[in-house]
Structures are given as structure tokens and as C-alpha cells.
Structure 1
Amino acid sequence: MEIKEVHNFNIYEESEFINIQNQLKKKISLKNTFSKNSIKLVAGVDLAYWEKENKQYGTCCIVVIDYNTKQVVEKVNSVGEIKVPYIPGFLAFRELPLVTEALKKLVVEPDIFIFDGNGYLHFNHMGIATHASFFLNKPTIGVAKSYLRVNEADFQMPQNEEGSFTDIIINGEVYGRVLRTREDVKPIFISCGNYIDLETSTEIVLNLINNESRLPIPVRLADLETHISRSALS
């Protein structure tokens, strides 16, 4: 798969991170750039980390499934040393080098990418799902298992019913959504990445839920693959 080189990754200063985010967020579009009937392939993206000999390493795994049959179409992964330390709000700079290396190995071209992480639900609207969209030039969705608090704003728990949700509204703006994908399980936190609206993001995520997890199938499978890869390498 062809990846657009939006910026290089030889960046280690927080001020540079902010400058890049500020430039890219001007180009965010929370509108669908596709027809829902055209969705055929959906990819899940996840990463895992470990330490070895005082160095930190990571693996990115991408699993592509058929949107209608839910069958796996392709799996790829990348492995490498992590050079950027963890700084809240700037996860993309830490993870994107491995993400882009894995993406380059894809033979098929997914229509939608779902990231284990946030998108628009971010203090600068530039979570990993949004940031990655500029390299992919594809619609992206962020799905997080835990809540990233922005400006000390809390969220309202949705009802205990499959498909129920509450919107995360901060200073009058909708940042994301708390979505109950299954009854009697914890909700997930979804947000637009880019080139897609929140209603469509919700519809796609719910269509990819089965009885095995509260997470959409491709993200859950990518998560499982990261654990396999990490166990083999760490």
C-alpha cells in the first residue's frame, strides 16, 4: 500500500510535535468522503511494547477483514526500536513509524482503518487515528478502551443496552462518543479520525461487533496479533 510522507520522524521536541499537530488539524474533515455501500475491506491497527537490554521495542499489527463476511483477508506486522518517549497527547509520533512500516507491507487496500486509540477525542483533535489519516489518505476511526480526559471534562455513562451511547461534549463541541457495544460490558470510546462523520463511525463499529469482545473485530484481532508477536520477540 502506498503511504504519503506527510513529515519525517526525526522529531523529538514537544514544541515540534505541537507545530505539526497545529498544521495538520486545519485539514481535518469530519465528513464522509465515501459511500457506505462501497465499504469492502476494514483494517484494525494496534501496537504492543516491551523492553529488552534497556531498550524499548514495539510491534504494530494490522488485520484486514471483509466488511460483510468478517473473514480475515490479510495480516501484516512491523517490529522496531521505539525512539520517542511516551508523552501524553503525542502518541502518534511514537507509534507512526511502526504503523507506516506495517502499512507498506499491505497488498490489499482497506477502505476504512480503525485504530486502537483516539482520533478527534484529543486536546488538539490529533489522536493517532486522525494523525495517521494524513499518511493513509483514507477514512479513519479511533476506538479506545479507556477515556482520555480533555480539559477535565467527564463523560456520562450510556444505558446498559447494546448500541446506546452518550456524546462527549467539551466547550459545546462534540469530541467523541461513549458507546455500549454489548449489554453488561464496559463501553468503548469512539471518535472520528478523519474523512468520516461520527454517525457513520458508530454504525461501522457496531456492525463489526460479535459476541467475543466489546471491540470491533479487526481491532480485537490486531490486538491478539500484537500479543503473539511480542511473546515471540521479547
Structure 2
Amino acid sequence: MNFENCKGMSEEEMQEKFRAFQEELSSRISCADSFHLSDIKTVAGIDLAYWQNENGDEQAVCCIVIIDFTTHEVIERQHFSGKINVPYMPGFLAFRELPLILETVKLLENIPDIYIFDGNGYLHPRHMGIASHASFYLDRPTFGIAKTYFRADKKTDYTEPSPESGSFTDIVIGGEVYGRALRTHTGVRPVFVSVGNNISLDTACNIALTLTDKESHIPIPTRLADLDTHVMREKLRSQN
């Protein structure tokens, strides 16, 4: 989608255009594995951080960290920053973030086997959170890990999983599984896993658990990407 075509539109016009685009893409989402787990060698985590410059313009930086799936060694780090041109509208976050994500991906010297987003995918009113939306431009399986719960239908809550590590409860809306509340460490708050594209929810949760160490309750790639966004935001702020 050409975001330049949205300049001059009202928020209502944008939402109408964005919703139609999401509905078109959502029919192409696959919640089945398109790969064998043994084929996964590298995994990328993606996150963004926002701020306003001295002129009041909204800025953001996207950070991507790629690690070795087996050793958890960091292979590559990249970032890209720029102005955000799409206003915040609930349910349409991907349209704000995708341009910076794709520019950051262009900088990668290593193409990861899978992308994990700090955010949602299928857990969205039209199943088109950033992890799903971005998948159509990345040509790789994707899924989302959110630290806070997003009510995709504005009313359905989740059921707390039991306290043990690895326990989970599915998030079911209208008889359909939208995502999963997953406990990655015993006694800590759960994370919220949802399919992006070309991966099953079971496999996404297995990967999330495999990549979560004792340092945090979120997987290493997205944790490192999150930390990098804070560092880069402060650095870039000081340059404005």
C-alpha cells in the first residue's frame, strides 16, 4: 500500500481505506506452519519507540536484533528512524509502523528465518496486527508477543493461566482462537502470543518459550530490540 496516497485524508477516510486493505489481506493469513522447526537457524526481534522532536513532530525508531536460534548469540543489530506520518488510530497501528520497519529490514545483512514482533498479529479485530500485516512484505513466518493484553473485540478478557512456566489459556472470541496468554516463567505475568502468518499458535508458543531466558519473561530477540529502542531514542533525541 502506498502510504503517500493517504496525505490530505481525514482520519475517517484513512480508516475506511485502511480497513478495506486489512480485510483484503486477512483472508490470506495462514495459521499453519510453513516450515520445519529444525530449519530455523536465526530469529529476529522487532520493536519501535516514539518521541516528539522540538517542533512537535512525532518521530520513531525501529530496532531489529537477529540472534542464533540455538546459541542465542546476537548476529546483527540494525535501526532506522524517521517521522511518523499516520496518526494513532486504534486497530491501525501497522500503518504507522510498517514504513520504518521495512526501511530497517533493508539494512539487514542477514535475512532471518522468522520475525517476532513486540505486538500482536491475529489478536486484532480483523486479525491484522503488525505481526500479520508486516508478514506480507517480509516473506517469512511471523508472530507477535505482546506484554499487555489487547481486547480485540473491546470486551473479551483473558483467563489467567496457572502459575507454572509453560502454562497457557487460549483467547477465544466468537468461538475462534485469536491468541494465547502464555506464562513463560513461574509466577510472573503472562505474555500474549498470536500468529502473524505462516506459523501455528503452538509453534509460536514453543519458540517463545525456547527463546525466553532467566533475564526476562519475554523472548530474547524482542527483549533486546526493546532495549535497543530505548538507547537509540535517547541518542536520537539528543541530536534534535
**TM-score, structure 1 length as denominator?**
0.96
CA distance in 1, matches of 2:175, 2:24: 23
Task: Give CA-to-partner distance per residue, 1:99-125, whole Å, 9 cap, x none.
Answer: 000000001110010000000000000
CA distance in 2, matches of 1:20, 1:28: 13
CA distance in 2, matches of 1:8, 1:43: 25
> Post-superposition shift, 1:150?
2.1
Deviates more, 1:10-19 or 1:103-112: 10-19
Q: Hey, what does 1:130 align to over in structure 2?
A: 132
> Post-superposition shift, 1:44?
0.1
Q: What does 1:27-106 correspond to in 2, within 5 Å?
A: 27-52=28-53, 53-106=55-108
Q: What does 1:1-234 correspond to in 2, within 5 Å?
A: 7-10=1-4, 11=6, 13-52=14-53, 53-151=55-153, 152-234=155-237
CA distance in 2, matches of 1:9, 1:45: 21
CA distance in 2, matches of 1:194, 1:216: 18
The percentage of aligned residue pairs carrying the same residue is: 53
> Post-superposition shift, 1:137?
1.2
* Partner SS, residue 166 of structure 1: strand
Moved over 6 A (4+): none
AA aligned opposite 2:177? V
CA distance in 2, matches of 1:166, 1:69: 29
Task: Give CA-to-partner distance per residue, 1:44-90, whole Å, 9 cap, x none.
Answer: 00000001121110000000000000000000000000111111100
Task: Give CA-to-partner distance per residue, 1:9-33, whole Å, 9 cap, x none.
Answer: 2235111100110110111111111
* Partner SS, residue 59 of structure 2: strand
**TM-score, structure 2 length as denominator?**
0.94
* Partner SS, residue 196 of structure 1: coil
CA distance in 2, matches of 1:65, 1:72: 4
Task: Give CA-to-partner distance per residue, 1:147-203, whole Å, 9 cap, x none.
Answer: 111221111000111000000001100000000000121100000000000000010
Judging by fraction of residues, say which structure has more helix. 2
Question: For this pair of structures, how many residues does the alignment match?
Answer: 228
Structure 2: tracts of 5 or more residues without a match: none
Q: CA RMSD for the aligned pairs? A: 0.7
> Post-superposition shift, 1:133?
0.2
